[in-house]
Structure 1
Amino acid sequence: MLHTPPLRIALVGDYHGQVLAHQAIPRALELAALALDCDLAPVWLPTDTLRQASDLDGYAGIWCVPASPYRSTAGALTAIRHARETGTPFLGTCGGFQHAVLEYARHVLGWHAAEHAETAPMAELAVISPLSCALVEETGLVQLRAGSRLAAAYGTPHALESYHCRYGINPALQASLLAGPLVAVAHDAAGEVRAVELTNHPFYIATLFQAERGALQGRLPALVSAFVRACQLKQAQHAGQPA
């Protein structure tokens, strides 16, 4: 019998035990491992320890987690860029969503002056800006784009999700940012973008909402399950094994 090593999942972010999302993420991964009958080995990687792409070698997936500002924006962007350029399954939630957009603006669109308003409030090119209405401990319905990987993960056209954030995509730059291959795949009731994905990547999804919180109620979050499944496929392909 072939031995399949545990899936190593990089949890990129600065762990804080009081953050609900950080409490939920290990439980969400446990539920996914049980459902998919696989062994997971999640590893928390503080952002200030990530200095080069090789620091992410050997991971089957990368999850950029909530609770920003991070200790090192550069470290978070290094991890996100590595996932984007290598085809490594990527999930970004809340702060991970914001930094995925920032990384794309800088390194794909070539907007080298792009900034996050939380860490650079006076920036002229803030691709991430304060939300018109902060979403702190809020819950809302999101409409999922038909045909998207996100919609396929949920198997439904909409979902009820929780937030704890104050920043999102700058509306003035949204059209240019999301002209493709990064595209909007979820909107709230007011039409505001709440999730994006890369159409030219095997699995690259970032959400402003925190789907992982469902695990705190004992529910397997569909998005986390889809992410772990993508990690399984990636590892199997790398090992030359059937998925």
Structure 2
Amino acid sequence: DIGNYERFLNTNIYKVNYMTTGRVYLSVIERERNLGYHGQCVQVVPHIPEEVNNRIKQAAEKSDADIMVVEIGGTVGEYENLLFLEAARYLRLENPGDVLFVMVSYLPIPSKLGEMKTKPTQHAVRSLNAAGIQPDFIVARASVPIDEPRRKKIAIHCNISHEDVIAAPDIESIYEVPLNFEKDNLGDRLLKKFGLESRTTDLVDWQTMFDKRTNATKRVKIGIVGKYFETGDFTLTDSYISVIEAVKHGAAANDCKAELHWLSAEEVEKEGVEMLKNYDGLIVPQGWGSRGSEGKIKAIQFARENKIPYFGLCYGMQMAVIEFARNVLGWADANTEEANSNTTHPVIHIMSGQKELLKTKGYGGTIRLGGWPCQIKPETRLAAAYGAVTKVSERHRHRYEFNNEYREQMEAKGLIISGTSPDGAIVEAIEIKDHPFFVGTQFHPEYISRPLDPHPLFVAFVKACCVLSQ
């Protein structure tokens, strides 16, 4: 969800904008232990809701926001969000003219009946009322737009104006959502309820971007080789949502549509690379541990040898280094220490300082996180993608890295280190020559790609895929 807000707002959102029940409780307990409450009897209510609201206010101050959107996850009535609802009630009580409640509710249409049902929404509002909250708007999620009779029915039974029941039907692209909301004048109605002046809605750039995506006639077929999207009989594509959206951004920039296919790394490992044929490009995204790693290495070898555009992200870069070491330098047991601590060629090893943390099970919040600078090597594919920029800041999330002991040998065989930390100590990006596109990054470019500002590496990758598809 945080990623979606960043993509839609085209801005970075920081840790102050995110909270969990555990973090809230921990901060209250630590404050009490440090006599921050001056000896008061500290209780769940009111102190936990007060801490929630203090965090909301801090986030608003940090971003200098005119309007702060607060999303409370989960379903009305469940245990996990009760204290957040109580905090929201407090906030409205303290600031009656500055707080509005928007409830998103699903309206089912049972296939055997063919009728949109409003009863679940009515019950959800009653549950919300029991928590002391009356919604100002109801966003009616359904497979089709809500019709006028049911809009009025919800208005009567849920005690809101029928104009404040907003249609949210199923759509092909998430980027159509704001355009849909404007059909019901949601922006104007929000401003009116806040007592603010109406403003001209400027969605020209957004509409142009959406139209380009919708009207594109070119197609590229891209396979994502991963392991986190399998859940029983279903596919959980949201596991790689940032990658998916970044590819779509890159496709729109190239006036084409990306057809994404989910390829199980474990199936590639067992059944071979036959399933990888007929793709215009392959991506190996982030991952952890040894499961499926051999399948990813096989996929990378297939992409390298058959000159299929390849983009490796974080773990995908590390696997590309291993593949190169095994099949170009002939180090058959080359591996990452994460998968095989006994390998004689640990071309990917644990970062300095991380080994002691692992020994003491210091896992929480100790990996290399956040934005770090990357120095770009001139006259590389990386440099061509970024243009005139020679140093960039990219987001990271890793504990293992390229082992510099093997750097000279691998470069001698054709591996190009195209991005490093400014001091040259950490390899941030690799690529190879004489290939349409073979790039791996230790960082996560997908995290900062936006629909109106696509990441240049994804634009370059999809462009290479388009060339192959022709």
Report if TM-score (shorter chain) is over 0.5.
Answer: yes
Instruction: Name the residue aligned to 1:189.
Output: 422
> Is 1:233 aligned to 2:446, yes or no?
no
Equivalent in 449, 454, 467 of residue 220 of structure 1: 454
Which residue type is aligned with residue 122 of structure 1?
N
Instruction: Name the residue aligned to 1:241.
Output: none
Which residue type is aligned with residue 432 of structure 2?
L
Which residue type is aligned with residue 196 of structure 1?
I
Q: Deviations over 1:39-71 (max 9, x none)?
A: 211112120111322110010001111112252
| TM score, norm. by length of structure 1 | 0.89
Cα distance in 1 for residues equivalent to 2:237 and 2:403: 25
Equivalent in 329, 332, 340 of residue 112 of structure 1: 332
Q: Cα offset for 1:31?
A: 1.3
Which residue type is aligned with residue 142 of structure 1?
C
Say if 1:187 and 1:195, in contact at 8 Å, map to a contact too: yes
Equivalent in 222, 238, 242 of residue 24 of structure 1: 242
| TM score, norm. by length of structure 2 | 0.47
Instruction: Name the residue aligned to 1:207.
Output: 441
Cα distance in 2 for residues equivalent to 1:217 and 1:8: 20
Larger Rg: 2
Cα distance in 1 for residues equivalent to 2:236 and 2:222: 21
Instruction: Name the residue aligned to 1:43.
Output: 261
Cα distance in 2 for residues equivalent to 1:57 and 1:221: 27
Q: Cα offset for 1:95?
A: 0.3
Which residue type is aligned with residue 23 of structure 1?
I
Cα distance 1:19–1:98, how it changes in 2: closer, same or farther (>3 A)? Answer: farther
User: What aligned pairs does 1:1-243 form with structure 2 within 5 A after superposition?
Assistant: 6-15=219-228, 22-50=240-268, 51-69=271-289, 71-132=291-352, 135-155=367-387, 156-191=389-424, 192-215=426-449, 219-236=453-470
Cα distance 1:18–1:157, how it changes in 2: closer, same or farther (>3 A)? Answer: farther
Q: Deviations over 1:115-153 (max 9, x none)?
A: 210011122221110112565322111111110011101
Cα distance in 1 for residues equivalent to 2:429 and 2:338: 19
Higher percent of residues as helix: 2
Cα distance 1:190–1:138, how it changes in 2: closer, same or farther (>3 A)? Answer: farther
Say if 2:375 and 2:420, in contact at 8 Å, map to a contact too: yes
Q: Cα offset for 1:216?
A: 6.1
Q: Which runs of 5+ in 2 are unaligned?
A: 1-215, 230-234, 355-366
Q: Cα offset for 1:182?
A: 1.1
Say if 1:13 and 1:70, in contact at 8 Å, map to a contact too: no
User: Root-mean-square deviation (CA), in Å?
Assistant: 2.3
Say if 2:290 and 2:338, in contact at 8 Å, map to a contact too: no
Which residue type is aligned with residue 225 of structure 1?
V
Greater relative CO, 1 or 2 (CA 8 Å, sep 6+): 1
Q: Deviations over 1:71-98 (max 9, x none)?
A: 2222101110010000000100100000
Q: Which runs of 5+ in 1 are unaligned?
A: 237-243
Which residue type is aligned with residue 194 of structure 1?
E
Cα distance 1:74–1:180, how it changes in 2: closer, same or farther (>3 A)? Answer: same
Moved over 2 A (4+): 3-6, 15-21, 68-71, 133-138, 215-219
Size of the aligned set, in residue pairs, is: 234
SS class of match (1:15): coil
